[in-house]
């Protein structure tokens, strides 16, 4: 494995308040890293900064070995994809939500249509391709959002609590599908979640963010112990 994403002395401040300060965090190529911590720890802010959607106050993000600078951030951003808690679909058909994103990134219209249908089928909603996105259920909308992200063929995928708003059966079904998909594609991903029982489905390692600092980082069992497999979860920042 080689490093795909590195944060070095990375800081973010807002209105004079430090949101996070990460001395070093590395995500290896093909690895899914879960980022956890209490509310207000800075998890989503760190994700947005690593995804080039927020400009850091200091430090550096390295993507595929190259430092992110003002001149190359947009190019790097187009090699990534983000899935948020809310699906954030455009007010058009499900298929056009994907083809528009692909066309913006320079994919020819024919290929964009093929890739859109391929990933809608993979996520089990190919039959909804022509339906208005605003008419989807919550689970269908998140499947469409995931299909759009995968159709972009990103080098790094960011998942910001993508299952938090879903009911348990829908959440579990998506987790069961997404884990093997990420592994089979050797996808590099950062997965932010507040539900620790989701972690073993997707992630190999866990980083714990507390008051803007990484206080623990290791394998799922190293961080949580065997308890996570039986759902008797020990919470690192309450030790």
pLDDT for position 228:
59
Q: Helix %, strand %, coil % for the chain, to 5?
A: 40, 30, 35
CATH number at residue 175: 3.40.50.300
- The model's pLDDT over 84-100, given as tens digits with 9 standing for 90+, comes to 999 999 999 999 999 99
Measured CA distances, 2 to 150, 190, 207 (Å): 22, 16, 18
pLDDT for position 231:
53
Are 181 and 68 in a shared domain? Answer: yes
Mean pLDDT of 103-124: 95
Is 189 part of a structural domain of the chain? yes
Is 120 part of a structural domain of the chain? yes
Average pLDDT for the chain: 91
Q: Count the domains in the chain.
A: 2
Is 177 part of a structural domain of the chain? yes
Are 12 and 61 in a shared domain? Answer: yes
Are 110 and 197 in a shared domain? Answer: no
- HSE at residue 153, side-chain half, CA atoms within 13 A, is 10
d(CA 201, CA 97): 27
Domain residues for 163?
Answer: 3-79+156-238
Are 124 and 164 in a shared domain? Answer: no
Are 35 and 108 in a shared domain? Answer: no
Are 53 and 101 in a shared domain? Answer: no
pLDDT for position 239:
47
Whole-prediction pTM: 0.92
Are 234 and 160 in a shared domain? Answer: yes
Are 144 and 173 in a shared domain? Answer: no
Are 74 and 165 in a shared domain? Answer: yes
pLDDT for position 225:
76
Q: Which of 70-74, 101-105, 121-125, 141-145 has the lowest mean pLDDT?
A: 70-74
pLDDT for position 147:
96
d(CA 165, CA 133): 17
How much of the chain, in percent, has pLDDT values that exceed 70? 94
Are 29 and 15 in a shared domain? Answer: yes
Is 84 part of a structural domain of the chain? no
Is 180 part of a structural domain of the chain? yes
- The model's pLDDT over 117-157, given as tens digits with 9 standing for 90+, comes to 999 999 999 999 999 999 999 999 999 999 999 999 999 99
Is 85 part of a structural domain of the chain? no
Are 223 and 168 in a shared domain? Answer: yes
Read off the tokens for 70: 């003002």
- The model's pLDDT over 181-195, given as tens digits with 9 standing for 90+, comes to 999 999 999 999 988
Task: Please name which of 25, 20, 11, 15 lies closest in space to residue 59, comparing C-alpha atoms.
Answer: 11
Is 52 part of a structural domain of the chain? yes
């Amino acid at each position: 494995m080689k490093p795909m994403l590195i944060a070095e002395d990375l800081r973010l401040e807002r209105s004079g308040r430090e949101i996070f300060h990460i001395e070093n965090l590395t995500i290896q190529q093909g690895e899914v890293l879960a980022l956890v911590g209490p509310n207000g720890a800075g998890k989503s802010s760190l994700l947005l900064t690593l995804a080039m959607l927020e400009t850091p106050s200091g430090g550096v993000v390295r993507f595929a070995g190259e430092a992110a600078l003002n001149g190359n951030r947009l190019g790097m951003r187009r090699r990534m994809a983000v899935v948020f808690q809310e699906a954030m679909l455009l007010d058009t058909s499900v298929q056009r939500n994907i083809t528009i994103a692909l066309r913006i990134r320079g994919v020819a219209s024919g290929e964009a249509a093929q890739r859109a249908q391929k990933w809608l089928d993979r996520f089990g909603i190919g039959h909804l391709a022509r339906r208005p996105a605003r008419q989807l259920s919550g689970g269908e909308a998140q499947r469409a959002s995931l299909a759009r992200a995968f159709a972009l063929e990103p080098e790094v995928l960011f998942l910001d609590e993508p299952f938090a708003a879903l009911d348990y059966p829908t959440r579990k079904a998506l987790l069961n599908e997404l884990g093997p998909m990420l592994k089979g594609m050797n996808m590099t991903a950062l997965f932010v979640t507040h539900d620790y029982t989701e972690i073993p489905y997707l992630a190999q390692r866990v980083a714990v963010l507390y008051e803007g600092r990484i206080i623990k980082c290791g394998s799922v069992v190293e961080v949580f112990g065997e308890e996570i497999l039986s759902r008797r979860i020990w919470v690192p920042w309450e030790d």
